[in-house]
């Protein structure tokens, strides 16, 4: 029997094993004031339940949805639930946040943790009342005996429960018993965020903290040749100017002094090998590469009948920045062989590991406090800005330093969504049936800040894995061939909301619309006709549930007024996607186009992400995904010239404004399964093709290049 002085282990196999363990100290065991049966929950004598959140909060609502899961099984009083952010340590296997995997990966561990705590409380109550455990039930923070007509608050059972051995294989609730899961719930931290009490990374203040900014090379891959800090050091409040691996850091008593010192700093840079790089040059390289066959990522079936009509199109997709409201920042405090950091990071364990490597100290000597994040979108899966802060602190002689990135720093020195080119081809037979499909994607491999190895460059599986939306075609077509062709670039490529799928889905679903019109069929009917009869479709390592996709499409048709006439100059378009084989999404977009100006009037989304934990949170995710996608289609673009990014702020890297936002309707499909899937990234990929298909319906013009410009509609 596992005891409370040993490890409680909770495992979940979902792509990789997640093992959570926690050792309980004797001090906790004996004081009787706090009951902590595992690493995820503490129950105090006053009945307060503190739930530890092991994922970073960046607006997606995990600080509410994850506590809801544990509180459900615990039968906690939601009004007494508090949250605490986990920091890297031996009790937590994985604290990384990305891939729309937070709720899915934590679903079983948190349920098991809550159920285990509930069982211990019920057992303690049974001993106290002298009754059978089976005669008791848990309800909203109480153990209830219907026979004895007694209700015991959890807080009164803390000491007794803490003395019990931890049970194994505790049964979980049936979905029919849920009273928290599935209910629209306000965010636990919402009041603090709205009132300004919540602390983001940029809000961190610690005693004796200094502030720093870094002057970085303007050209990708450039370096510092020399610098003169004479004028910078004359600025009141500037304490030091030091060179670090990323540039030259100005350290000061306050941010204003750091910024003014930065302006006064004279730096000579070596441009390096990329001074001539530009977006135009990269586009040319992609076009040249497209003439090559590329690496085959999927080749299924054969052409069942002769092709009598072939349609070909090419789609282009630009570089994008993340542009979060909160720019990169971290407070680092290096003291001897130890370092403490406060960082808005999606990857605290990677920060810990890489800071330890930089400083040459054990990981156990690095403490990372994860703060609220003012927008992540994949950018904060990188650890560069946190490692840089540690380097600045060390170079400045140690002590706490907050390194702040300007908006221009964020635009020019992060990593970015890769530009891509898509060659599409499809064939129809004499009966008008779609019998062949080809999609070649030309882009730059995403492997965070590292470059693919020679071995990876020769591995089709590697390219398949970064070809979401290309090889996982969710349609039943006799012959499907997909390929990927890598193009080198000096631009750092990394995760961007929905990673590789937005560009691929833009091309695929836009081209599907072209094919539907060529076949003279309604776009929804065309897709339904090509789902085939089998329930499951395996594409590489992705399994597509066709009945779920069919249900999503049919629901979209019913909810979006599909087929209802719109005024002249207006149009309705649609697109769909299955995200990584899990979440099924379909959009309808209604637009009005007048004199080259596009107004998005209405967006309808049908969303099937399995078990819905917090409907309010998922609806917010979809709404955010719509705005994100419309921004990328209508406003944003990152361009390069003379080796550097040209954009520096929201002035020239625009995002959708409040008065430009459409009416958004979200329809969640009730799940027939027992697992929640992602909701952060899946709303993004099919939105843009739904938009451009609507523009075609309104104007007859095909948009094959992003962002959309007025001249594209002329």
DSSP string covering 378-411: TGGG--HHHHHHHHHHHHTTSEEEEEE--HHHHH
Closest CA to 125 of 115, 114, 138, 113: 138
pLDDT at 5: 26
Q: What angle do CA 134, 139, 143 make, to 5 degrees?
A: 55
Work out the angle between the directed axes of helices 687-699 and 615-634 (0-180°, nearest 10). Answer: 50
Query: Closest by alpha carbon to 613, among 198, 187, 193, 112?
Result: 187
Give CA–CA dist 566/552, Å, rounded. 23
Position 281 pLDDT exceeds 90: yes
Helix (H) or strand (E) holding 190: helix 190-195
Helix then strand count (H, E) for the chain reads 18, 31
383 by Cβ neighbours in 10 Å (0-12 / 13-18 / 19+) ranks as buried
Give the model confidence (pLDDT) of 509-552 as tens digits.
Answer: 999 999 999 999 999 999 999 998 778 888 777 888 999 999 99
Query: What is the percentage of the chain residues whose pLDDT exceeds 90?
Result: 82
Residues 6+ apart with CB under 8 A from 370: 56, 85, 86, 87, 95, 343, 344, 345, 348
- Label residue 295 exposed, middle or buried (CB < 10 Å: 0-12, 13-18, 19+): buried
At 318-375, the pLDDT tens digits run 999 999 999 999 999 999 999 999 999 999 999 999 999 999 999 999 999 999 999 9
Residue 666 CB contacts under 8 Å (≥ 6 apart), including other chains: 605, 607, 618, 619, 622, 623
273 DSSP assignment: G
Domains, the chain, ordered by start: 10-195 (3.30.365.10), 203-272+328-404 (3.30.365.10), 279-320+415-713 (3.30.365.10)
Beta strand spans in 70-221 (E):
81-85, 136-139, 142-145, 150-153, 210-215
Q: What is the pLDDT of residues 369-424, one digit of tens each?
A: 999 999 999 999 999 999 999 999 999 999 999 999 999 999 999 999 999 999 99
pTM for the model: 0.92
Distances (CA, A) of 673 to 11, 106, 582: 20, 16, 11
- Say how many CA atoms lie within 13 Å of 215 toward its Cβ: 25
Give the tokens for residue 32: 């009787």
pLDDT at 459: 73
- Decide: residue 78, CB within 10 A, 0-12 exposed, 13-18 middle, 19+ buried: middle
């Amino acid at each position: 029997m596992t005891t409370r002085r040993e490890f409680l282990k909770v495992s979940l196999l979902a792509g990789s094993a997640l093992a959570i363990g926690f050792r309980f100290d004797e001090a906790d065991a004996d004081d009787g004031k706090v009951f902590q049966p595992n690493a995820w929950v503490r129950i105090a004598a006053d009945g307060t339940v503190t739930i530890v959140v092991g994922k970073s909060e960046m607006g997606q609502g995990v600080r509410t949805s994850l506590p809801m899961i544990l509180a459900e099984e615990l039968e906690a009083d939601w009004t007494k639930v508090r949250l605490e952010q986990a920091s890297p340590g031996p009790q937590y296997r994985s604290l990384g946040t990305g891939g729309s995997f937070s709720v899915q990966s934590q679903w079983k561990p948190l349920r098991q943790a809550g159920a285990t705590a509930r069982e211990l409380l019920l057992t303690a109550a049974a001993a106290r009342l002298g009754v059978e455990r089976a005669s008791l039930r848990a309800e909203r923070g109480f153990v209830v005996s219907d026979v004895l007509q007694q209700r015991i608050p959890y807080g009164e059972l803390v000491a007794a429960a803490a003395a019990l051995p931890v049970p194994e294989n505790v049964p979980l609730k049936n979905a029919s018993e849920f009273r928290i899961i599935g209910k629209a719930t306000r965010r636990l931290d919402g009041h603090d965020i709205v009132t300004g009490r919540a602390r983001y990374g940029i809000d961190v203040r610690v005693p004796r903290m200094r502030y720093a900014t870094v002057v970085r090379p303007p050209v990708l891959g450039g370096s510092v040749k020399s610098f003169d800090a004479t004028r910078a050091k004359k600025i009141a409040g500037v304490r030091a100017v030091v060179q670090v691996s990323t540039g030259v850091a100005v350290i000061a008593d306050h941010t204003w002094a750091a910024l003014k010192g930065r302006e006064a700093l004279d730096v000579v840079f070596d441009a390096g090998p990329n001074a001539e790089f530009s977006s135009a040059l990269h586009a040319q390289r992609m076009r040249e590469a497209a003439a090559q066959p590329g690496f085959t990522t999927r080749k299924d079936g054969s052409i069942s009948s002769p092709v009598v009509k072939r349609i070909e199109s090419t789609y282009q997709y630009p570089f994008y920045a993340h542009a979060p409201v909160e720019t990169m920042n971290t407070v680092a405090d290096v003291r001897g062989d130890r370092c403490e950091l406060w960082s808005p990071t999606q990857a605290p364990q990677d920060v810990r590991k890489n800071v330890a490597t930089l400083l040459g100290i054990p990981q156990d000597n690095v403490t990372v406090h994860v703060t609220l994040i003012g927008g992540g979108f994949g950018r904060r899966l990188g650890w560069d800005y946190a490692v840089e802060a540690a380097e600045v602190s060390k170079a400045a002689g140690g002590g706490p330093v907050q390194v702040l990135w300007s908006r221009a720093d964020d635009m020019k020195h992060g990593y970015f969504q890769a530009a891509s080119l898509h060659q599409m081809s499809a064939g129809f037979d004499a009966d008008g049936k779609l019998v062949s499909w080809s999609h070649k994607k030309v882009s730059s491999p995403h492997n965070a800040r590292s470059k693919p190895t020679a071995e990876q460059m020769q591995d089709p599986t590697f390219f398949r894995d970064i070809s979401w939306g290309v090889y996982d075609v969710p349609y039943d077509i006799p012959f499907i061939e997909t390929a990927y062709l890598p193009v080198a670039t000096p631009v750092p490529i990394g995760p961007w909301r929905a990673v590789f799928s937005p560009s691929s889905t833009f091309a695929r679903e836009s081209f599907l619309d072209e094919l539907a019109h060529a076949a003279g069929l309604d776009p929804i009917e065309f897709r339904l006709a090509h789902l085939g009869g089998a329930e499951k479709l395996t594409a590489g390592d992705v399994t597509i549930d066709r009945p779920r996709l069919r249900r999503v499409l049919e629901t979209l048709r019913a909810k979006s007024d599909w087929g209802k006439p719109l005024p002249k100059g207006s149009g309705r378009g649609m697109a769909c996607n299955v995200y990584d084989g899990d979440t099924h999404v379909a959009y309808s977009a209604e637009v009005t186009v007048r004199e080259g100006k596009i107004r998005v009037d209405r967006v309808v989304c049908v969303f099937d992400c399995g078990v819905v934990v917090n409907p309010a949170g998922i609806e917010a995710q979809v709404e955010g995904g719509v705005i994100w996608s419309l921004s990328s289609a209508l406003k944003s673009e990152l361009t390069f010239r003379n080796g550097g990014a040209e954009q520096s702020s929201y002035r020239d890297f625009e995002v959708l404004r409040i008065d430009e936002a459409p009416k958004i309707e979200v329809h969640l499909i009730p799940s027939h399964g027992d697992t929640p899937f992602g909701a952060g990234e899946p709303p993004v990929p099919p939105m843009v093709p739904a938009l451009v298909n609507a523009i075609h319906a309104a104007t007859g013009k095909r948009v094959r290049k992003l962002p959309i410009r007025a001249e594209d509609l002329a």
